[in-house]
Amino acid sequence: MSTPYMLLTGASRGIGHATVKLFLEKGWRILTVSRHPFSEECRWPAARESHIQADLEDVDGIEALAEVVRQKLPEGKLAALVNNAGISPKGPGGSRLGILDTDADTWRHILNVNLVSTALLARALSPELFAAKGAIVNVTSIVGSRVHPFAGVAYAASKAALASLTREMAHEFGPYGVRANAIAPGEISTDILSPGTDQLVEALVPMKRLGTTTEVAKTIYFLCSEESSYINGAEIHINGGQHV
Ligand SMILES: NC(=O)c1ccc[n+]([C@@H]2O[C@H](COP(=O)([O-])OP(=O)(O)OC[C@H]3O[C@@H](n4cnc5c(N)ncnc54)[C@H](OP(=O)(O)O)[C@@H]3O)[C@@H](O)[C@H]2O)c1
């Protein structure tokens, strides 16, 4: 069997970096996308030539990005597309951006990066996903289903819409043998966390600890592997029970 290829957005740190490491250990070839050039913090032997620099806010550039990806797939097959890049902007002093604080530009920026680019990237790479009977994993969030003290309104709405987009993908791509699922992390130990998370974890997370990026990566791997061959349209909570 030929080596499977995965495209992962937002690989330079956090959940994306842990996911790259795990898929490499499992023998996959990885292509990565983020705004900055190849990250020294997320280094592996082929990291430099596997990285594509692109800003997912530029939704008009997605077709060109997909073309670069296509040229890097030797057999025209993409076995996994992991839409992990996400942004959660804050107001002054790290404050929560509620409806009254969120202007049209902020809405556009967050929705383009967290939602619209995901739909367009899957659309542009659908021939390669269909050819591989591949898997899509969208990284949503616990805040897509409840109000959160730190996450802003546009971020929350983008993640709720991404869960909906996942169901649409499962429905539309299922007949082509492509599965689409989401993972919804809770409080995971990364740079995205706000001050005050420790108290929140103590109060709201039954397991009384943050999750690790490795725990998230393992679930992403499961959803891209044969072990999950009949799971389609699911959203898996990875939050130590915070959702209960
Ligand atoms: N950490 C948590 O507790 C948590 C909880 C729930 C959900 N999530 C979700 O999990 C995902 C990863 O989170 P994380 O904490 O690992 O995030 P992170 O450490 O902030 O990393 C975000 C990644 O996305 C890339 N990125 C940001 N804006 C981009 C853009 N416009 N175009 C292309 N790439 C872009 C960044 O690279 P560049 O800076 O180079 O662009 C980086 O690699 C996100 O979707 C987030 O919403 C995280």
The backbone region for 39, taken as left when phi is positive above 0, alpha when psi lies in -120 to 50, beta otherwise, is beta
Residue 47 in this model has a pLDDT that exceeds 90: no
Residue 161 Cβ < 6 Å to ligand 1? no
Residue 52 in this model has a pLDDT that exceeds 80: yes
Decide which of 46 and 33 is more confident. Answer: 33
pLDDT band at 176 (very low <50, low <70, confident <90, very high): very high
**What mean pLDDT is reported for the chain?**
96
221 part of the active site: no
pLDDT of residue 44: 83
Tens-digit pLDDT profile for residues 187-224: 999 887 788 899 999 999 999 999 999 999 999 999 99
Cα(230) to centroid(ligand 1), Å: 28
**160: helix, strand or coil:** helix
Tens-digit pLDDT profile for residues 20-37: 999 999 999 999 999 998
Which H helix or E strand runs over 32? strand 29-34
Cα(87) to centroid(ligand 1), Å: 6
Query: Of all atoms in ligand 1, which is nearest to the CA of residue 142?
Result: 6
Side chain identity, residue 15: I
Side chain identity, residue 188: I
Q: What is 226-241 written as a DSSP string?
A: GGGTT--S-EEEESTT
**116: helix, strand or coil:** helix
DSSP state for residue 189 in the 8-state scheme: S
Q: Count of CB atoms within 10 A of residue 75's CB?
A: 11
pLDDT of residue 74: 95
Q: Please name each of the domains of the chain with its CATH number.
A: 5-238 (3.40.50.720)
DSSP state for residue 212 in the 8-state scheme: P
Residue 40 Cβ < 6 Å to ligand 1? no
Residue 148 in this model has a pLDDT that exceeds 90: yes
Tens-digit pLDDT profile for residues 71-128: 999 999 999 999 999 999 999 988 999 999 999 999 999 999 999 999 999 999 999 9
Nearest to 107 by CA among 152, 162, 61: 152
pLDDT band at 144 (very low <50, low <70, confident <90, very high): very high
b/e burial code for range 41-71 (CB count within 10 A of at least 16 → b): ebeeeebeebbbebbbbebeebeebbeebee
Cα(84) to centroid(ligand 1), Å: 6
